[in-house]
């Protein structure tokens, strides 16, 4: 529903993994689109080039209306797919605590509007309310699944 409603070319839902033995990182739980990176570190260093890590660390939505203009302006951007021209990174918040991330990407600039942002926010609220981003993962689990979002 999220991918269809937003008309995004790539949709991903990530869970924030916290461990006492490592820095926090995002684990891709579900996606629709081309295969891409399954794990994103959420360190301060990686956030210098990653919208996903920055959104998680700040708890703020990041909307890149035009990737080419964003890069030309000297702003950091982590490229997973060279066709992406706009991106919406929305942390899923449980109160003031980020528990996951919704990442939408489109192959056209200025793709995401208020309706897209609203649908992503509702999806994040559902994921948090149902505690779908708060599960224990064993080493044998394969958390990355392509699904019809």
Per-residue pLDDT in tens (0 to 9) along the chain, 149 residues: 787 788 899 999 999 998 888 889 999 999 999 888 899 899 999 999 999 999 999 999 999 999 999 999 998 888 889 999 999 999 999 999 999 999 999 999 999 999 988 989 999 898 998 888 876 544 444 544 444 45
**What whole-number distance in Å separates Cα of residue 5 and Cα of residue 10?**
12
Nearest of 19, 4, 32 to residue 103 by alpha carbon: 32
Dump pLDDT digits (tens) for 117-144: 898 999 989 899 888 887 654 444 454 4
Sign of CA dihedral 34, 39, 43, 46: negative
Instruction: Please state the length of the chain.
Output: 149
- HEC readout, 30-69: EEECCCCCCEEECCHHHHCCCHHHHHHHHCCCEEECCHHH
What are 49's two structure tokens? 């080039």
């Amino acid at each position: 529903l999220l991918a269809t409603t937003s008309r995004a070319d790539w949709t991903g839902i990530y869970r924030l993994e916290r461990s006492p033995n490592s820095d926090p990182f995002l684990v891709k739980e579900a996606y629709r689109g081309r295969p891409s990176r399954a794990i994103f570190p959420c360190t301060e260093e990686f956030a210098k080039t990653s919208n996903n890590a920055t959104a998680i660390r700040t708890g703020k939505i990041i909307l890149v209306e035009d990737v080419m203009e964003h890069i030309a302006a000297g702003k950091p951007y982590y490229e997973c797919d060279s066709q992406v021209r706009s991106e919406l990174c929305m942390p899923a918040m449980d109160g003031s605590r980020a528990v996951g991330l919704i990442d939408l990407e489109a192959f056209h600039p200025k793709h995401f509007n208020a309706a897209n942002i609203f649908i992503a926010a509702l999806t994040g609220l559902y994921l948090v309310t149902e505690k779908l981003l708060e599960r224990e993962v064993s080493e044998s689990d394969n958390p990355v699944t392509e699904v019809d979002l």
